[in-house]
């Protein structure tokens, strides 16, 4: 994937950029109980909605949205991943994929009912340009969701902190509170078919030494994956 075109403003995402096939195993393992989808559905149902997935990667979540939404738009700044997302959804006439970034969405004003970003771009301070784009493209009555790791909880949060020492979970929390977003803890898990898949995923998520410690600390094929779901309704 060395020659990929990458749209300006993309945040390097080595896990999926360099090893999309391992990231696919991660997506398959995450949240077997579908708690994240259930939590979003309880806040804002997708039935009949125009749904925007920002930072959709290879489009893993697009077919699930398309099962209930009227229309689904995936946006992804890494050209090869955007192409993979388009291929994944080639047989789904209601799905469109664009190579673009959160800071410059190729969409008209007030054209989206539900925006979702999973583990993408909206990581806290610095994502203001994307937040401005959200308020431009969301319709009145629309809802935006951001699902992310909760780095303040659990072994997973600790391994993340050891991998990205500059990350401040309290600063991120304060940022979203200032923006007026709501939040809910989500106790997700990852459950793998094979131990080797769990180890491969830990190795793409964490620094090498941290990953080896995480592997040593973990038995079996299951990991706790503490997440936080954030959302805002766009009423005004």
Residues at the site binding ligand SAM, with contacts judged by CB under 6 A? 9-11, 13, 15-16, 27, 54-57, 60-61, 76-78, 81, 101-103, 118-121
- Residue from 225, 220, 221 nearest 188 by CA: 225
Nearer to ligand SAM, 48 or 126 (CB): 126
Nearer to ligand SAM, 73 or 235 (CB): 73
Q: Nearest distance from residue 7's CB to ligand SAM, in Å?
A: 8
Q: Judge contact between 206 and 214, C-beta under 8 A.
A: yes
Nearer to ligand SAM, 141 or 179 (CB): 179
Q: How far is it, in rounded angstroms, from Cα 164 to Cα 119? A: 15
Q: How far is it, in rounded angstroms, from Cα 118 to Cα 209? A: 26
Q: Nearest distance from residue 93's CB to ligand SAM, in Å?
A: 22
Token reading at 185: 């803890």
- Residue from 183, 189, 180 nearest 169 by CA: 183
- For 96-135, letters b (16+ CB in 10 Å) and e give bbbbbbbbebebeeebbbbbbbbbbbbbbeebeebbebbe
Q: Nearest distance from residue 232's CB to ligand SAM, in Å?
A: 18
Q: How far is it, in rounded angstroms, from Cα 226 to Cα 200? A: 19
Nearer to ligand SAM, 126 or 235 (CB): 126
Q: Nearest distance from residue 18's CB to ligand SAM, in Å?
A: 11
Q: Nearest distance from residue 65's CB to ligand SAM, in Å?
A: 11
Nearer to ligand SAM, 52 or 140 (CB): 52
């Amino acid at each position: 994937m060395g020659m990929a075109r990458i749209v300006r403003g993309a945040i390097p995402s080595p896990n999926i950029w360099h090893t999309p096939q391992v990231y696919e195993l991660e997506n398959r393992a995450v949240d077997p109980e579908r708690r994240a989808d259930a939590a979003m559905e309880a806040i804002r149902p997708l039935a009949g909605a125009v749904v925007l997935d920002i930072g959709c990667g290879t489009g893993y979540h697009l077919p699930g949205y398309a099962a209930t939404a009227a229309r689904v738009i995936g946006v992804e700044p890494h050209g090869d991943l955007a192409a993979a997302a388009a291929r994944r959804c080639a047989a789904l006439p209601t799905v469109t994929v664009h190579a673009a970034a959160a800071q410059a969405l190729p969409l008209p004003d007030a054209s989206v009912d539900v925006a979702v970003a999973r583990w993408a771009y909206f990581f806290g301070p610095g994502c203001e340009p994307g937040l401005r784009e959200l308020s431009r493209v969301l319709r009145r009555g629309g809802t935006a969701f951001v699902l992310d790791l909760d780095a303040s909880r659990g072994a997973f949060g600790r391994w993340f902190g050891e991998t990205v020492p500059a990350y401040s979970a309290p600063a991120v929390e304060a940022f979203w509170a200032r923006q007026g977003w709501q939040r809910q803890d989500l106790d997700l898990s990852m459950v793998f078919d094979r131990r080797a898949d769990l180890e491969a995923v830990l190795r793409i998520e964490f620094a090498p030494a941290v990953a080896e410690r995480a592997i040593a600390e973990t038995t079996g094929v299951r990991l706790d994956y503490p997440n936080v779901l954030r959302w805002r309704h766009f009423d005004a």
